[in-house]
Chains A and B, each alone.
Chain A
Amino acid sequence: MTAQVFTVTSGKGGVGKTTAVANLATALAMDGKRVVCIDGDIGLRNLDVVMGLENRIVYDIVDVIEGRCKLKQAMIRDKHYPEMHLIPAAQTRDKNAVSPSDMVRICNDLKPDADFIIIDSPAGIERGFRNAIAAADRVLVVTNPEVSAVRDADRVVGILEAEEKSNPALIINRLNPALVKNNDMLSAEDVLDLLGIRLIGIVPEDETVIIGSNRGTPIVTDVKSRAGMAFRNIAKRLQGDDVPFMDLAPQSGLWNAIQRLAGRK
């Protein structure tokens, strides 16, 4: 079996690409899959921090490309899931150190020994983005329910269409059901209506996600977190399972109060 390559991208920065990569990869690893994450953000690496692997880095992707180490040496094993690996970005180089054909070659070398390869794309639509999508079998577009993020996502979808990277899937991140209900935030329907691509998941706003990122423990491992649940569902859908979408209607009254007291809201 050969691995499927997913690239996570967004156009706009700060919408949660890296968080999505860390959580989806961890969720897939929790399901027993062999996963390799590649940080495509050369020069601004941070996937290693979010995955809690920063102090294990010896070699990075540019070392592999420039032949200073073997591919296996640059693969960092995860602390909790031995079947999950990270290939970190170089912090001291820029995106020109990598070319689209380098990415394709690395992915081809990884494919026989993995089930999923997940590439974290940098923000923007420049060289780094083109590197990140070069090897992709499927592209996951992350956006927030904000006008500016959706417009950038639309631009990215247009480029993907032009590059014949067909069938991108959409992740709407940080949706706040209470704000949507009061018409203070775009709804998932508004976003889908504009982008017109397939939805693969909606992740509710959840402050524990940031805490998880800072601690280097993706929220997806917390069985009680609703955002973690959303990421686990997306991971199932990536594996081809048909999982129903979560009900994100704001919970009212007592249940909401209890949740808030429990610190999960």
Chain B
Amino acid sequence: MNIIMDSTTAIVQIKGIRDGLLATFADSAWEDQRGALMDQITERSAFFQGARLAMDVGTQVLKVNDLVELRDWLSERNITLWAVVSESPTTESTAQLLGLATRISKPRPEEARHVLETIPDDTALFVAKTVRSGTRIEYPGHVVVFGDVNPGAEIIADGNVIVWGRVRGVIHAGAKGNREAFICALDLSANQVRIAGETSAMLKPQKDPRPEVASINKEGKLQAELWHPGDNTPRK
């Protein structure tokens, strides 16, 4: 019994963090890591009751099915899996697809500034599908969406936001205060768009939508203008 305990505790380490519990794993196959975690939880079920669990799975490549299975198993035991941290891009996108966090806590102010500096000005996140209600995309650079932004969806970017599609959700460009940021969309009929600290008035849906660009004008007001060919004046 003791030997089994030892081998499972060697594979999985559980510690308390600010946002609940964090499970970290030693290098091993996912089946073993998962098994070790399940053993730990079964053995100390009272301790885990109602817990918020985050996992750091290192370089492990996990597919949707792997995480869904574990999440369901955990939720049956009243444990909420809320974050999966990984160095593998596949696992990270799996976690994002399932609406799990991929970072454990918000970086402290100094760290936040550091992150901002290390992201070059022209880095963009490319989203190749419609952003649906309930989805929130936050990115410290630009965001490009190839699809619509539906009502109830939010996009918050420190840089510019470009949408090849219709915007009917909330968009905030220059979220860290960049007043030079702009928002372009093929159809900008959002209830509200924001750039830096400015908020647009209601943008009326148009019968015959035309591409528009929203930016802060010389008077310091946020305005949306129709785009015309040859309009692309260099922006900072």
Does A associate with B in a complex?
yes
Which A residues are within 8 Å of any B CB, using their own CB? 96, 99-101, 127, 130, 147, 151-152, 154-155, 157-159, 161-164, 194, 196
CB-based contact B76/A96 at 8 Å: yes
The residue of chain A having its C-beta at the shortest distance from the C-beta of B152 within the complex is A151
**Contact between A155 and B64, CB atoms less than 8 A apart:** no
B residues at A contact (CB < 8 Å): 64, 68, 72, 75-76, 97-99, 129-130, 132-135, 148, 150-152, 168
Once bound together, how far apart are the Cα atoms of A99 and B132, in whole Å? Answer: 27
How many angstroms from the CA of A130 to the CA of B99 in the assembled complex?
14
Docked complex Cα distance between A155 and B76 (Å): 24
Tell me the smallest distance from the CB of B147 to a CB of chain A, in Å: 8
| Inter-chain contact A154/B151, CB cutoff 8 Å | yes
Contact partner of A155 (CB less than 8 A), chosen from B72, B75, B132, B168, is B132
- Contact status of A194 and B64, CB under 8 A, knowing A154-B133, A155-B132, A155-B134: no
Given A96-B76, A130-B72, A196-B130, verify A154-B150 contact (CB < 8 Å): yes
Closest Cβ of chain A to B155, distance in Å, is 14
B135: contacting residue among A130, A151, A158, CB under 8 A: A158
Contact of A157 with B72 in the complex, beta carbons under 8 Å: no
B99 touches A99 (CB 8 A): no
A188→B97 CA distance, assembly (Å): 29
CB nearest to B75 among chain A residues? A127
Interchain nearest-CB distance for A5 vs B (Å): 17
CB pair B152–A154 under 8 Å, yes or no, is: yes
Interface of B is mostly: loop
CA A47 to CA B133, docked complex, whole Å: 29
A-B pairs with lowest CB-CB distance, top 5: A158-B132, A154-B133, A162-B97, A155-B134, A155-B133
CA distance A186 to B60 in the complex (A): 47
The reply to whether B98 and A162 contact each other, CB–CB distance below 8 Å, is yes
Are B133 and A196 neighbours in the complex by a CB distance under 8 Å? no
Contact: A152 with B133, CB < 8 Å? yes
B52 to chain A, nearest CB (A): 16
Contact of A158 among B68, B75, B133 (CB under 8 A): B133
| CB neighbours of B148 from chain A (8 A) | 194, 196
How far apart sit A130 and B129, CA to CA, in the bound complex (Å)? 23
**Contact partners of B97 in chain A: CB under 8 A:** 161-162
B63: nearest residue on chain A (CB-CB)? Answer: A164
Query: Which residues of A have CB within 8 Å of B72?
Result: 99-101, 130
Q: Would A155 and B152 count as touching, CB distance under 8 A?
A: yes
Q: Are B151 and A151 in contact (CB under 8 A)?
A: yes
Q: How far is the CA of A159 from the CA of B134 in the complex (A)?
A: 9
Q: How far is the CA of A96 from the CA of B76 in the complex (A)?
A: 7
Check if B134 sits within 8 Å of A163, measured CB to CB: no
Partner of A162, one of B76, B99, B130, B151: B99
Q: Given the complex of chains A and B, what is the CA–CA distance between A110 and B168 in angstroms?
A: 43
Return chain B residues, CB-CB under 8 Å to A101: 72
Q: How far is the CA of A196 from the CA of B132 in the complex (A)?
A: 10
Q: 12 A-B pairs, CB-CB below 8 angstroms?
A: A100-B72, A127-B75, A130-B72, A147-B151, A151-B152, A155-B132, A155-B152, A157-B132, A161-B129, A163-B64, A194-B151, A194-B168
CA distance A158 to B76 in the complex (A): 24
Among B64, B76, B135, contact of A164 (Cβ-Cβ < 8 Å): B64
Q: Which residues of B contact A130 (CB under 8 A)?
A: 72
Q: Is the Cβ of B76 less than 8 Å from the Cβ of A194?
A: no
Question: Please, how many angstroms separate the alpha-carbon atoms of A152 and B151 in the complex?
Answer: 10
* Contacts A99-B76, A155-B134, A158-B133 known; 11 new A-B pairs at CB < 8 A: A99-B72, A100-B72, A130-B72, A151-B133, A154-B132, A154-B150, A159-B99, A161-B129, A162-B98, A163-B64, A194-B150
A35 to B133, CA, bound (A): 34
Q: How far is the CB of A168 from chain B (nearest CB, A)?
A: 12
